[in-house]
Amino acid sequence: MKEKFKADYHTHSKYSFDGCESIRVMARAAEAAGLCEIAVTDHCDIDGVLAGFYPSYDGDAIEKEINEVRSEFDGRLTILHGIELGQPHTRPAQSRELIERYKYDFVIGSLHNMRDMPDFSFLRYDKMGYPLSENYFSRSLCELCELCDFGGIHTLAHITYPVRYMREYGMDIDYRKFYDQFELLYKKMIACGVALEINTSGLRRAAHATLPDTELVALYRECGGKLVTVGSDAHIAGDIGAGIEESYETMKKLGFKSVNVIRGGKLDEISL
């Protein structure tokens, strides 16, 4: 029996365009890392898929493999059928149809690009400079508020996603300039019952911090936020579970008593 609860609520398999592992390999890695639960949350950036920018989303194949692997790991690892649904607010009808079809255990809402824009990862921030980069960051926070209004999601992922790539170009953001916008976003999330995701991928990249970082998680708590999920955003088996325990410790230092998990299709609490 595992000594304490640890779960990774954001992972990608070969069914994501930028993933490579089978779900079975991911489950083995999760078990080896001492996890109790894993959410398989493959990408569907629905605006890009419908526009033909990304490959089609193979929901049937994902569901089939998850069910097969669940049987193999029954009693040893809980495997949630999830999705990382990108930009659902831009294609609300199709997004709701997808959620209804597959009855996901767990739905992550993400903003990888703004309307009619490329993914933030494709932008050349060194060429854009600070004024334009900060303008884009501000606009991303506005669209995240819209995304919350879509409904149907459990958690909002990596809300400082653009910074992951800005820092790779040697640029940074002074979050204090955007505190008013973060407070509006947090109030929107709280009103909608949407959790904040602490995404540990930044610890493995140039950001050298979770997305959002400790400063912004503390601001979320000051705004009355209580719902938090934690995920590695792993795209390879070796990253599954990475940074989870460290994030739990950070949450405890900030005064959180629990982390959120899915029980019966709804957010529930597990003591830290």
pLDDT of residue 3: 64
- Contact of 126 with 172, CB cutoff 8 Å: no
Exposed (0-12), middle (13-18) or buried (19+): which is 70, by Cβ within 10 Å?
middle
Q: How far apart are CA 235 and CA 151, in angstroms?
A: 26
Closest CA to 123 of 85, 168, 91, 158: 168
Mean pLDDT in each 10-residue stretch from start to end of the chain (272 residues)? 82 96 98 97 97 95 97 96 98 98 98 96 95 96 97 96 94 95 98 98 91 98 98 98 98 97 95 96
In the chain, alpha helices (H): 23-32, 46-50, 59-72, 92-102, 125-150, 161-166, 179-192, 214-222, 244-253
Determine if residue 242 is left, alpha or beta; phi over 0 gives left, psi from -120 to 50 gives alpha, anything else beta.
Answer: beta
- Contact of 134 with 173, CB cutoff 8 Å: yes
Instruction: Look up residue 21 and give its amino acid.
Output: E
The helix/strand/coil state of 206 is coil
Q: Which fold has domain 7-271?
A: TIM Barrel (3.20.20)
- Contact of 31 with 74, CB cutoff 8 Å: no
- Contact of 38 with 240, CB cutoff 8 Å: yes
Q: What angle do CA 6, 99, 216 make, to 5 degrees?
A: 45
Only one residue has tokens 């609300």, namely 92
- Structure tokens, 141: 């926070």
* Contacts of 9 by beta carbon, 8 Å cutoff, 6+ apart: 37, 38, 39, 41, 80, 82, 106, 108, 155, 197, 229, 230, 231, 261
0.75 exceeded by pTM? yes
Q: How far apart are CA 3 and CA 201, in angstroms?
A: 25
Parse the chain into domains and list their residue ranges.
7-271
Closest CA to 272 of 244, 240, 242: 244
